[in-house]
Amino acid sequence: MADANDVFEIMHTTRAMRRLRTDPVPDELIAKILKAGISAANGGNAQKWRFMVIKDPAVKKAVQVCYKRAYDEIIGPRYASSAPPPGVTKERFARQHRAVEYLTEHFHEAPVWIVACLEDSAPTRWTGSSVYPAVQNMLLAARALGLGSTLTTRHLFYEKEAEAALGLPEGVHSYAILPIGYPMGNFGPVGRAALSDVVYAERWGQPYREPA
Q: What is the CATH number of the domain that holds 62?
A: 3.40.109.10
In a domain, 210, yes or no: no
Q: What is the extent of the structural domain holding 84?
A: 7-183+193-198
pLDDT one digit per residue (tens) for the chain, 212 residues? 556 668 999 999 999 999 999 999 999 999 999 999 999 999 899 999 999 999 999 999 999 999 999 999 999 888 888 888 888 888 888 888 898 999 999 999 999 999 999 997 677 888 899 999 999 999 999 999 999 999 999 999 999 999 999 999 999 999 999 999 999 989 988 888 889 899 999 999 998 998 98
In a domain, 206, yes or no: no
As for how many domains the chain has, the answer is 1
Query: Considering only CA atoms, which of 32, 40, 15, 21 is closest in space to residue 151?
Result: 15
Query: Considering only CA atoms, which of 126, 85, 108 is closest in space to residue 165?
Result: 108
Distances (CA, A) of 165 to 8, 68, 113, 150, 159: 37, 14, 14, 21, 10
In a domain, 208, yes or no: no
